[in-house]
Amino acid sequence: MRTDRTFTMLKPDSVEKGYIGAILEKINAAGFKIVAMKLTQMTRRDAMKFYEVHKERPFYGELVEYMTRGPIVAAILEKENAVADFRTLIGATNPAEAAEGTIRKLYATSIGENAIHGSDSDVNAAIEGAFHFAGRELF
């Protein structure tokens, strides 16, 4: 299992508010190389599958609504220690608890609408990347 890749989505709120450029700037500045990227929109089926681990949680329905309401930017990023370093860069799930300077502190609205996704393990990074990209879309 490789440890130098993670998967991210700039969530619909980030795209709606025009934050794509600013967030990509932070990602570049932190030393991540963009290996794959696209503007895309998840269907209900996609979002339900992507967030299947949360299906028993009370916020699952709202999460699916939120993630499907508009386009996202999906990307695979490469850097040494990618998963952990990217989680540090994005900050805590709840922006109120996110460290100063993190992407969620700067751009998220609430624990639900929190601007950006980052994989939580190398295994999930591989699964999530393969969910959104075919092999020929990686560079």
Binding residues for ligand UDP (CB under 6 A): 54, 59, 63, 93, 111-112, 114, 117, 120
The catalytic position among 75, 117, 119, 133 is 117
Q: Tell me the closest approach of the beta carbon of residue 17 to Mg ion, in angstroms.
A: 22
Site size toward Mg ion (CB under 5 A) is 1
Q: Measured from the CB atom, is 67 or 139 closer to ligand UDP?
A: 67
Phi-psi region of 115 (alpha: psi -120 to 50; beta: other; left: phi over 0): left
Could you confirm whether 132 is annotated as catalytic? no
CA atoms within 13 A on the CB side of 46: 15
- Return the structure tokens found at 46: 């996609």
Q: Tell me the closest approach of the beta carbon of residue 106 to Mg ion, in angstroms.
A: 19
The distance in angstroms from the start CA to the end CA of the chain is 18
Please give the C-alpha separations between residue 106 and each of 39, 64, 97, 110, in angstroms, as whole numbers.
Answer: 22, 23, 12, 11
Q: Tell me the closest approach of the beta carbon of residue 133 to ligand UDP, in angstroms.
A: 19
Q: Measured from the CB atom, is 8 or 107 closer to Mg ion?
A: 8
> Choosing among ligand UDP, Mg ion, none, which partner's interface includes residue 111 (Cβ < 5 to 8 Å by kind)?
ligand UDP
- Return the structure tokens found at 15: 């795209």
How far is 19 from 126, CA to CA, in rounded Å? 26
Give the residue numbers marked as catalytic: 117
Could you list the residues that contact Mg ion (CB under 5 A)? Answer: 120
